[in-house]
Amino acid sequence: MISFESFGLSTELLRAVSEQGYTEPTPVQQQAIPHILEGADLMARAQTGTGKTAGFTLPLLQRLSVSQKNTGHRRAVRALILTPTRELAAQVEESVTTYGKHLPLKSTVIFGGVKINPQIMKLRMGVDILVATPGRLLDHAGQKTVDLSKVEFFVLDEADRMLDMGFIHDIKRINALLPKQRQTLLFSATFSDEIKKLATGFLKTPKLIEIARHNTPSELVSQVIHPVDRNRKRALLSWMIGSKNWKQVLVFTRTKHAANRLSKQLSQDGITASAIHGNKSQAARTRALAEFKTGKVRVLVATDIAARGLDIDQLPHVVNFELPNVPEDYVHRIGRTGRAGNEGEAVSLVCVDELQHLKNIESLVKRDLPKIVIPGYEVDPTIKAEIIPNGRNGNNKKTLSKHSNYRWGNNRPGTSNNRSTSKNSSRRQQFR
Ligand code: AMP
Protein backbone atom coordinates (compact mmCIF):
# COMPACT_ATOMS: atom_id res chain seq x y z
CA MET A 1 0.00 0.00 0.00
CA ILE A 2 1.31 3.44 -0.92
CA SER A 3 1.41 5.80 2.04
CA PHE A 4 1.75 9.58 2.20
CA GLU A 5 5.12 9.02 3.92
CA SER A 6 6.45 7.13 0.91
CA PHE A 7 6.25 10.25 -1.28
CA GLY A 8 8.95 11.90 0.83
CA LEU A 9 6.70 14.80 1.82
CA SER A 10 7.98 17.06 4.59
CA THR A 11 6.92 16.47 8.19
CA GLU A 12 4.91 19.72 8.08
CA LEU A 13 2.84 18.44 5.20
CA LEU A 14 2.46 14.95 6.68
CA ARG A 15 1.23 16.54 9.88
CA ALA A 16 -1.38 18.57 8.02
CA VAL A 17 -2.50 15.47 6.10
CA SER A 18 -2.89 13.42 9.24
CA GLU A 19 -4.75 16.27 10.94
CA GLN A 20 -7.26 15.99 8.10
CA GLY A 21 -7.68 12.33 9.00
CA TYR A 22 -6.42 11.03 5.65
CA THR A 23 -4.84 7.64 6.08
CA GLU A 24 -3.92 6.78 2.52
CA PRO A 25 -3.61 8.68 -0.74
CA THR A 26 -6.46 8.44 -3.23
CA PRO A 27 -5.69 7.01 -6.72
CA VAL A 28 -5.19 10.44 -8.27
CA GLN A 29 -2.85 11.39 -5.42
CA GLN A 30 -0.90 8.14 -5.76
CA GLN A 31 -0.30 8.83 -9.42
CA ALA A 32 0.03 12.59 -9.54
CA ILE A 33 2.18 13.36 -6.48
CA PRO A 34 5.37 11.52 -7.59
CA HIS A 35 5.30 13.10 -11.09
CA ILE A 36 4.77 16.58 -9.72
CA LEU A 37 7.54 16.13 -7.16
CA GLU A 38 9.87 15.11 -9.98
CA GLY A 39 9.09 18.39 -11.74
CA ALA A 40 7.15 16.94 -14.68
CA ASP A 41 4.27 18.64 -16.44
CA LEU A 42 1.08 16.73 -15.88
CA MET A 43 -2.19 16.22 -17.66
CA ALA A 44 -4.65 14.47 -15.38
CA ARG A 45 -8.16 13.32 -16.03
CA ALA A 46 -9.90 13.41 -12.69
CA GLN A 47 -13.17 14.79 -11.44
CA THR A 48 -14.10 16.66 -8.32
CA GLY A 49 -14.41 14.26 -5.43
CA THR A 50 -11.34 12.22 -6.36
CA GLY A 51 -9.01 14.15 -4.05
CA LYS A 52 -7.36 15.96 -6.96
CA THR A 53 -6.93 19.21 -5.02
CA ALA A 54 -4.62 17.60 -2.48
CA GLY A 55 -3.11 15.71 -5.42
CA PHE A 56 -1.61 18.91 -6.80
CA THR A 57 -1.52 21.09 -3.67
CA LEU A 58 0.65 18.79 -1.54
CA PRO A 59 3.52 18.38 -4.03
CA LEU A 60 3.25 22.03 -4.99
CA LEU A 61 3.65 23.10 -1.37
CA GLN A 62 6.53 20.68 -0.97
CA ARG A 63 8.40 22.07 -3.97
CA LEU A 64 7.73 25.67 -3.04
CA SER A 65 8.86 25.23 0.55
CA VAL A 66 12.03 23.34 -0.34
CA SER A 67 13.13 26.06 -2.70
CA GLN A 68 11.83 28.97 -0.66
CA LYS A 69 14.04 31.94 -1.27
CA ASN A 70 14.91 34.12 1.63
CA THR A 71 16.06 37.11 -0.31
CA GLY A 72 14.39 39.63 1.95
CA HIS A 73 12.48 40.95 -1.03
CA ARG A 74 8.73 41.07 -1.23
CA ARG A 75 7.25 37.70 -2.05
CA ALA A 76 6.47 37.09 -5.68
CA VAL A 77 3.65 34.89 -6.92
CA ARG A 78 5.39 31.56 -7.50
CA ALA A 79 2.36 29.36 -8.03
CA LEU A 80 -0.78 30.29 -9.92
CA ILE A 81 -3.87 28.10 -9.71
CA LEU A 82 -6.68 28.97 -12.14
CA THR A 83 -10.21 27.70 -11.54
CA PRO A 84 -13.45 28.26 -13.47
CA THR A 85 -15.68 29.38 -10.60
CA ARG A 86 -15.46 31.55 -7.54
CA GLU A 87 -16.61 28.75 -5.27
CA LEU A 88 -13.98 26.40 -6.54
CA ALA A 89 -11.33 29.11 -6.22
CA ALA A 90 -12.34 29.70 -2.60
CA GLN A 91 -12.30 25.99 -1.84
CA VAL A 92 -8.94 25.39 -3.48
CA GLU A 93 -7.44 28.25 -1.52
CA GLU A 94 -8.92 26.79 1.64
CA SER A 95 -7.16 23.51 0.81
CA VAL A 96 -3.89 25.34 0.20
CA THR A 97 -4.24 26.97 3.62
CA THR A 98 -5.19 23.70 5.29
CA TYR A 99 -2.37 21.61 3.85
CA GLY A 100 0.15 24.43 4.14
CA LYS A 101 -0.73 25.50 7.65
CA HIS A 102 2.61 24.39 9.15
CA LEU A 103 4.62 26.01 6.37
CA PRO A 104 5.66 29.65 6.09
CA LEU A 105 4.00 30.13 2.69
CA LYS A 106 1.33 32.70 1.95
CA SER A 107 -1.65 32.29 -0.30
CA THR A 108 -4.65 34.30 -1.35
CA VAL A 109 -7.64 34.00 -3.63
CA ILE A 110 -8.98 36.50 -6.14
CA PHE A 111 -12.25 36.33 -8.03
CA GLY A 112 -14.87 38.68 -9.43
CA GLY A 113 -18.12 39.80 -7.85
CA VAL A 114 -16.38 41.29 -4.82
CA LYS A 115 -14.41 44.51 -4.29
CA ILE A 116 -11.02 44.60 -5.93
CA ASN A 117 -9.27 46.83 -3.39
CA PRO A 118 -8.91 44.30 -0.55
CA GLN A 119 -7.43 41.92 -3.12
CA ILE A 120 -4.96 44.57 -4.22
CA MET A 121 -3.90 45.09 -0.59
CA LYS A 122 -3.31 41.36 -0.12
CA LEU A 123 -1.35 41.07 -3.34
CA ARG A 124 0.74 44.08 -2.37
CA MET A 125 1.69 42.40 0.90
CA GLY A 126 3.06 39.51 -1.12
CA VAL A 127 1.80 35.99 -1.74
CA ASP A 128 3.52 32.80 -2.83
CA ILE A 129 0.43 30.98 -4.06
CA LEU A 130 -2.36 32.71 -5.91
CA VAL A 131 -5.69 31.03 -6.64
CA ALA A 132 -7.78 32.94 -9.17
CA THR A 133 -10.59 32.93 -11.66
CA PRO A 134 -9.49 34.11 -15.11
CA GLY A 135 -11.49 37.32 -15.49
CA ARG A 136 -10.50 38.95 -12.22
CA LEU A 137 -6.91 37.86 -12.62
CA LEU A 138 -6.77 39.69 -15.96
CA ASP A 139 -8.32 42.77 -14.33
CA HIS A 140 -5.44 42.75 -11.85
CA ALA A 141 -2.91 42.13 -14.58
CA GLY A 142 -4.35 45.05 -16.55
CA GLN A 143 -4.06 47.32 -13.51
CA LYS A 144 -0.58 45.99 -12.82
CA THR A 145 -1.63 44.95 -9.33
CA VAL A 146 -0.31 41.43 -9.89
CA ASP A 147 3.04 40.34 -11.25
CA LEU A 148 3.02 36.93 -12.88
CA SER A 149 6.56 37.05 -14.21
CA LYS A 150 7.97 34.89 -11.39
CA VAL A 151 5.45 32.05 -11.64
CA GLU A 152 7.12 28.64 -11.40
CA PHE A 153 3.97 26.52 -11.16
CA PHE A 154 0.83 26.95 -13.21
CA VAL A 155 -2.21 24.80 -12.41
CA LEU A 156 -5.32 24.73 -14.57
CA ASP A 157 -8.03 23.16 -12.45
CA GLU A 158 -11.19 21.88 -14.12
CA ALA A 159 -9.83 22.98 -17.47
CA ASP A 160 -12.80 21.51 -19.34
CA ARG A 161 -15.14 23.76 -17.39
CA MET A 162 -13.04 26.77 -18.15
CA LEU A 163 -13.36 26.03 -21.85
CA ASP A 164 -17.10 25.37 -21.49
CA MET A 165 -17.44 28.74 -19.83
CA GLY A 166 -15.68 30.45 -22.70
CA PHE A 167 -12.45 31.28 -20.90
CA ILE A 168 -10.16 30.08 -23.67
CA HIS A 169 -9.02 33.57 -24.70
CA ASP A 170 -8.54 34.64 -21.09
CA ILE A 171 -6.45 31.54 -20.43
CA LYS A 172 -4.29 32.25 -23.46
CA ARG A 173 -3.80 35.84 -22.37
CA ILE A 174 -2.81 34.68 -18.89
CA ASN A 175 -0.45 32.08 -20.33
CA ALA A 176 1.27 34.84 -22.30
CA LEU A 177 2.01 36.66 -19.03
CA LEU A 178 3.76 33.64 -17.48
CA PRO A 179 7.42 32.65 -17.84
CA LYS A 180 8.02 29.93 -20.44
CA GLN A 181 10.16 28.04 -17.96
CA ARG A 182 7.72 26.63 -15.44
CA GLN A 183 5.88 23.47 -14.40
CA THR A 184 2.32 23.20 -15.69
CA LEU A 185 -0.41 20.92 -14.37
CA LEU A 186 -3.73 20.50 -16.10
CA PHE A 187 -6.70 18.81 -14.44
CA SER A 188 -9.84 18.08 -16.37
CA ALA A 189 -12.83 15.77 -16.00
CA THR A 190 -12.67 14.99 -19.72
CA PHE A 191 -9.93 14.85 -22.32
CA SER A 192 -11.76 16.37 -25.26
CA ASP A 193 -9.96 17.42 -28.44
CA GLU A 194 -10.06 21.03 -27.22
CA ILE A 195 -8.41 20.07 -23.95
CA LYS A 196 -5.72 18.13 -25.80
CA LYS A 197 -5.13 21.15 -28.05
CA LEU A 198 -4.84 23.39 -25.02
CA ALA A 199 -2.42 20.97 -23.40
CA THR A 200 -0.25 20.79 -26.52
CA GLY A 201 0.17 24.55 -26.43
CA PHE A 202 0.76 24.90 -22.69
CA LEU A 203 2.44 21.73 -21.45
CA LYS A 204 5.86 20.25 -22.19
CA THR A 205 5.90 16.46 -22.70
CA PRO A 206 3.38 15.99 -19.92
CA LYS A 207 2.90 12.81 -17.94
CA LEU A 208 -0.58 11.54 -18.51
CA ILE A 209 -2.80 10.10 -15.82
CA GLU A 210 -6.39 9.02 -16.08
CA ILE A 211 -8.50 8.25 -13.09
CA ALA A 212 -11.53 6.07 -13.78
CA ARG A 213 -14.50 8.17 -14.67
CA HIS A 214 -17.50 8.03 -12.45
CA ASN A 215 -19.87 7.15 -15.20
CA THR A 216 -21.32 4.51 -13.00
CA PRO A 217 -23.26 6.27 -10.30
CA SER A 218 -23.02 4.92 -6.79
CA GLU A 219 -25.20 1.92 -6.12
CA LEU A 220 -26.49 3.74 -3.09
CA VAL A 221 -28.28 6.33 -5.20
CA SER A 222 -31.74 5.35 -6.26
CA GLN A 223 -32.58 7.00 -9.55
CA VAL A 224 -36.03 7.62 -10.89
CA ILE A 225 -37.54 9.50 -13.79
CA HIS A 226 -40.94 11.10 -13.40
CA PRO A 227 -42.40 11.89 -16.82
CA VAL A 228 -44.30 15.16 -16.56
CA ASP A 229 -45.40 18.01 -18.79
CA ARG A 230 -43.06 20.97 -18.95
CA ASN A 231 -45.50 23.43 -17.40
CA ARG A 232 -46.46 21.09 -14.55
CA LYS A 233 -42.95 20.39 -13.30
CA ARG A 234 -42.97 23.09 -10.72
CA ALA A 235 -46.33 22.00 -9.23
CA LEU A 236 -45.04 18.44 -9.09
CA LEU A 237 -41.83 19.51 -7.38
CA SER A 238 -43.66 21.55 -4.75
CA TRP A 239 -46.01 18.66 -4.15
CA MET A 240 -43.17 16.16 -3.78
CA ILE A 241 -41.23 18.34 -1.36
CA GLY A 242 -44.32 19.02 0.72
CA SER A 243 -45.91 15.57 0.71
CA LYS A 244 -42.65 13.71 1.30
CA ASN A 245 -41.54 16.32 3.79
CA TRP A 246 -38.10 16.71 2.24
CA LYS A 247 -35.97 18.96 4.39
CA GLN A 248 -32.89 19.50 2.23
CA VAL A 249 -33.15 19.32 -1.53
CA LEU A 250 -30.66 20.36 -4.17
CA VAL A 251 -32.48 21.16 -7.39
CA PHE A 252 -30.76 21.58 -10.73
CA THR A 253 -31.83 23.74 -13.64
CA ARG A 254 -30.03 24.31 -16.91
CA THR A 255 -30.01 28.09 -16.81
CA LYS A 256 -29.60 30.92 -14.33
CA HIS A 257 -32.92 32.33 -15.39
CA ALA A 258 -34.70 29.06 -14.66
CA ALA A 259 -32.96 28.80 -11.28
CA ASN A 260 -34.13 32.29 -10.30
CA ARG A 261 -37.66 31.73 -11.49
CA LEU A 262 -38.01 28.37 -9.79
CA SER A 263 -36.67 29.56 -6.47
CA LYS A 264 -39.16 32.47 -6.53
CA GLN A 265 -42.04 30.14 -7.40
CA LEU A 266 -41.14 27.68 -4.68
CA SER A 267 -41.03 30.52 -2.18
CA GLN A 268 -44.50 31.52 -3.34
CA ASP A 269 -45.58 27.93 -2.69
CA GLY A 270 -44.36 28.36 0.90
CA ILE A 271 -41.14 26.39 0.46
CA THR A 272 -38.01 28.27 1.48
CA ALA A 273 -35.64 28.33 -1.47
CA SER A 274 -32.60 30.19 -2.79
CA ALA A 275 -30.94 30.20 -6.17
CA ILE A 276 -27.22 29.95 -6.66
CA HIS A 277 -25.60 30.81 -9.96
CA GLY A 278 -22.92 32.86 -11.60
CA ASN A 279 -24.85 36.14 -11.74
CA LYS A 280 -25.29 36.30 -7.98
CA SER A 281 -22.83 38.29 -5.94
CA GLN A 282 -20.33 36.28 -4.00
CA ALA A 283 -21.93 37.40 -0.73
CA ALA A 284 -25.34 36.20 -1.91
CA ARG A 285 -23.94 32.82 -2.96
CA THR A 286 -22.11 32.32 0.32
CA ARG A 287 -25.22 33.26 2.28
CA ALA A 288 -27.46 30.94 0.25
CA LEU A 289 -25.09 28.05 0.76
CA ALA A 290 -24.78 28.68 4.51
CA GLU A 291 -28.54 28.90 4.93
CA PHE A 292 -29.02 25.70 3.00
CA LYS A 293 -26.42 23.85 5.06
CA THR A 294 -27.95 24.93 8.36
CA GLY A 295 -31.47 24.05 7.19
CA LYS A 296 -32.80 27.61 7.17
CA VAL A 297 -33.48 27.21 3.48
CA ARG A 298 -35.00 23.94 2.36
CA VAL A 299 -34.26 24.07 -1.34
CA LEU A 300 -31.17 25.24 -3.14
CA VAL A 301 -31.71 25.71 -6.86
CA ALA A 302 -28.44 25.60 -8.75
CA THR A 303 -27.02 25.57 -12.23
CA ASP A 304 -24.35 22.99 -13.05
CA ILE A 305 -21.58 25.51 -13.16
CA ALA A 306 -22.50 27.12 -9.84
CA ALA A 307 -22.81 23.74 -8.16
CA ARG A 308 -19.44 22.63 -9.45
CA GLY A 309 -16.96 22.68 -6.63
CA LEU A 310 -19.58 23.46 -4.01
CA ASP A 311 -18.76 21.75 -0.80
CA ILE A 312 -22.13 20.10 -0.41
CA ASP A 313 -22.58 16.42 -0.58
CA GLN A 314 -24.25 13.67 1.38
CA LEU A 315 -27.57 15.22 0.52
CA PRO A 316 -30.63 13.04 0.87
CA HIS A 317 -32.35 14.41 -2.26
CA VAL A 318 -31.17 15.70 -5.58
CA VAL A 319 -33.75 16.75 -8.14
CA ASN A 320 -33.10 17.33 -11.81
CA PHE A 321 -35.80 19.87 -12.54
CA GLU A 322 -34.30 20.00 -16.00
CA LEU A 323 -31.93 17.42 -17.42
CA PRO A 324 -28.46 18.74 -18.22
CA ASN A 325 -27.35 19.31 -21.82
CA VAL A 326 -24.17 17.37 -21.13
CA PRO A 327 -24.89 13.79 -19.97
CA GLU A 328 -21.78 13.63 -17.75
CA ASP A 329 -23.33 16.43 -15.71
CA TYR A 330 -26.15 14.08 -14.75
CA VAL A 331 -23.69 11.73 -13.09
CA HIS A 332 -21.99 14.66 -11.46
CA ARG A 333 -25.26 16.07 -10.17
CA ILE A 334 -26.53 12.84 -8.67
CA GLY A 335 -23.13 12.20 -7.13
CA ARG A 336 -24.15 14.84 -4.58
CA THR A 337 -26.25 12.24 -2.89
CA GLY A 338 -25.55 8.72 -1.69
CA ARG A 339 -22.05 9.51 -0.47
CA ALA A 340 -20.18 8.07 2.45
CA GLY A 341 -22.42 5.04 2.76
CA ASN A 342 -25.63 7.06 3.05
CA GLU A 343 -28.50 6.24 0.80
CA GLY A 344 -29.65 8.94 -1.54
CA GLU A 345 -32.39 9.64 -3.98
CA ALA A 346 -32.01 11.28 -7.37
CA VAL A 347 -35.25 12.30 -8.99
CA SER A 348 -35.52 13.66 -12.52
CA LEU A 349 -38.59 15.48 -13.76
CA VAL A 350 -38.51 14.91 -17.49
CA CYS A 351 -40.75 16.46 -20.10
CA VAL A 352 -41.12 15.55 -23.75
CA ASP A 353 -38.54 18.15 -24.80
CA GLU A 354 -35.86 16.25 -22.93
CA LEU A 355 -36.19 12.76 -24.36
CA GLN A 356 -32.98 13.01 -26.35
CA HIS A 357 -31.16 14.20 -23.24
CA LEU A 358 -32.58 11.25 -21.33
CA LYS A 359 -31.47 8.83 -24.05
CA ASN A 360 -27.96 10.25 -23.94
CA ILE A 361 -27.86 9.88 -20.17
CA GLU A 362 -29.13 6.31 -20.28
CA SER A 363 -26.52 5.37 -22.83
CA LEU A 364 -23.81 6.96 -20.68
CA VAL A 365 -24.87 5.14 -17.50
CA LYS A 366 -25.55 2.04 -19.60
CA ARG A 367 -29.00 1.33 -18.22
CA ASP A 368 -32.60 2.28 -18.60
CA LEU A 369 -33.73 4.40 -15.72
CA PRO A 370 -37.07 3.52 -14.14
CA LYS A 371 -39.90 5.80 -15.21
CA ILE A 372 -42.70 6.30 -12.77
CA VAL A 373 -45.69 8.48 -13.44
CA ILE A 374 -47.05 10.32 -10.44
CA PRO A 375 -50.83 10.06 -10.39
CA GLY A 376 -52.33 13.41 -11.24
CA TYR A 377 -49.25 14.39 -13.25
CA GLU A 378 -49.71 12.15 -16.27
CA VAL A 379 -48.28 13.49 -19.49
CA ASP A 380 -50.48 14.96 -22.18
CA PRO A 381 -49.53 13.13 -25.42
CA THR A 382 -50.70 16.02 -27.58
CA ILE A 383 -47.93 18.27 -26.30
CA LYS A 384 -45.11 18.44 -28.80
CA ALA A 385 -41.46 18.61 -28.00
CA GLU A 386 -39.99 22.10 -28.02
CA ILE A 387 -36.48 23.21 -28.73
CA ILE A 388 -34.04 23.28 -25.83
CA PRO A 389 -31.34 25.81 -26.58
CA ASN A 390 -27.96 24.41 -25.84
CA GLY A 391 -26.41 27.17 -23.80
CA ARG A 392 -22.95 25.65 -23.82
CA ASN A 393 -22.30 24.98 -27.43
CA GLY A 394 -24.58 27.52 -28.98
CA ASN A 395 -26.21 26.32 -32.12
CA ASN A 396 -27.17 22.68 -32.26
CA LYS A 397 -29.89 22.69 -34.86
CA LYS A 398 -29.22 19.11 -35.80
CA THR A 399 -30.18 17.72 -32.44
CA LEU A 400 -33.13 20.02 -32.23
CA SER A 401 -34.82 19.12 -35.46
CA LYS A 402 -34.40 15.45 -34.64
CA HIS A 403 -35.53 16.17 -31.15
CA SER A 404 -38.84 17.77 -31.98
CA ASN A 405 -40.07 14.40 -33.21
CA TYR A 406 -39.93 12.77 -29.82
CA ARG A 407 -42.89 11.50 -27.88
CA TRP A 408 -42.98 9.77 -24.57
CA GLY A 409 -42.79 6.03 -25.08
CA ASN A 410 -42.35 6.43 -28.80
CA ASN A 411 -39.58 7.99 -30.73
CA ARG A 412 -41.30 8.13 -34.07
CA PRO A 413 -43.18 11.20 -35.17
CA GLY A 414 -46.90 11.36 -35.26
CA THR A 415 -47.62 8.01 -33.67
CA SER A 416 -49.70 7.64 -30.58
CA ASN A 417 -48.27 7.54 -27.15
CA ASN A 418 -48.65 4.93 -24.45
CA ARG A 419 -50.25 7.40 -22.16
CA SER A 420 -50.23 6.67 -18.50
CA THR A 421 -53.81 7.46 -17.65
CA SER A 422 -54.85 3.85 -17.57
CA LYS A 423 -58.01 3.18 -15.66
CA ASN A 424 -56.43 0.81 -13.22
CA SER A 425 -55.38 2.55 -10.08
CA SER A 426 -51.80 1.43 -10.33
CA ARG A 427 -49.83 4.08 -8.49
CA ARG A 428 -46.71 3.35 -10.43
CA GLN A 429 -46.53 2.93 -14.09
CA GLN A 430 -43.49 2.07 -16.10
CA PHE A 431 -43.10 4.07 -19.24
CA ARG A 432 -41.21 1.58 -21.32
P1 AMP B 1 -11.40 17.04 -4.32
O2 AMP B 1 -11.58 16.03 -5.40
O3 AMP B 1 -10.06 17.63 -4.31
O4 AMP B 1 -12.50 18.07 -4.35
O5 AMP B 1 -11.53 16.28 -2.90
C6 AMP B 1 -12.70 15.64 -2.49
C7 AMP B 1 -12.73 15.40 -1.00
O8 AMP B 1 -11.83 14.36 -0.63
C9 AMP B 1 -12.34 16.61 -0.16
O10 AMP B 1 -13.35 16.79 0.81
C11 AMP B 1 -11.03 16.21 0.51
O12 AMP B 1 -10.92 16.75 1.80
C13 AMP B 1 -11.10 14.70 0.56
N14 AMP B 1 -9.78 14.02 0.48
C15 AMP B 1 -8.73 14.38 -0.27
N16 AMP B 1 -7.72 13.50 -0.13
C17 AMP B 1 -8.15 12.53 0.72
C18 AMP B 1 -7.56 11.33 1.24
N19 AMP B 1 -6.34 10.94 0.91
N20 AMP B 1 -8.30 10.59 2.08
C21 AMP B 1 -9.55 10.97 2.41
N22 AMP B 1 -10.18 12.08 1.94
C23 AMP B 1 -9.47 12.86 1.09
Residues 228-253 have pLDDT tens digits of: 999 999 999 999 999 999 999 999 99
Determine what percent of the chain is predicted with pLDDT higher than 90: 61
> What's residue 312's pLDDT?
67
3-class DSSP assignment, residue 81: strand
C-beta 52 within 6 A of ligand 1: yes
| β-bridge pairing 153-156 and 79-82 | parallel
Query: What global pTM score does this model have?
Result: 0.60
| 221-431 CATH fold | Rossmann fold (3.40.50)
Verify whether ligand 1 is closer than 6 Å to residue 140 (CB atom): no
pLDDT digits (tens, 9 = 90+) for 46-95: 877 778 999 999 999 999 998 876 555 668 999 999 999 988 899 899 99
Q: How many Å lie between the centroid of ligand 1 and the Cα of residue 66?
A: 24
Domain 4-210, classified CATH 3.40.640.10, yes or no? no
401 pLDDT more than 80: no
Say whether pLDDT at 400 is over 70: no
- Is 54's C-beta closer than 6 angstroms to any atom of ligand 1? yes
Query: What residue spans in the chain does CATH classification 3.40.50.300 cover?
Result: 4-210, 221-431
Are the CB atoms for 133 and 111 separated by under 8 Å?
yes
Distance CA 427, CA 58 (A): 53
pLDDT exceeds cutoff 90 at 274 = yes
Query: What is the rounded average pLDDT of the residues 154-166?
Result: 93
How far away, in angstroms, is 420 Cα from ligand 1 center? 44
- Would the CB of 51 count as within 6 Å of ligand 1? yes
Is the pLDDT assigned to residue 416 strictly greater than 60? no
pLDDT, tens only, 351-362: 999 999 999 999
Q: What is the pLDDT of residue 410?
A: 46
User: Which ligand 1 atom is nearest residue 311's CA?
Assistant: 10
Q: How far is the CA of 331 from the centre of ligand 1 (A)?
A: 19
Checking if the pLDDT of 164 tops 70, the result is yes
H or E element, residue 274: strand 273-276
Residue 223 vs residues 112, 219, 307, 331, 338: alpha-carbon distances, Å? 36, 10, 19, 11, 11
Residue type at position 262? L
- For a substitution probing ligand 1, which of 3, 6, 26 has the most ligand atoms within 8 Å of its CB? 26
**4, 18, 29, 53, best to mutate for ligand 1 pocket (most atoms within 8 Å of CB):** 53
As a whole number, mean pLDDT of residues 177-205 equals 93
Give the closest residue to 338 by CA, choosing from 214, 161, 190, 187: 214
d(CA 306, CA 276): 6
> Is residue 48 lining ligand 1, measured as CB closer than 6 Å?
yes
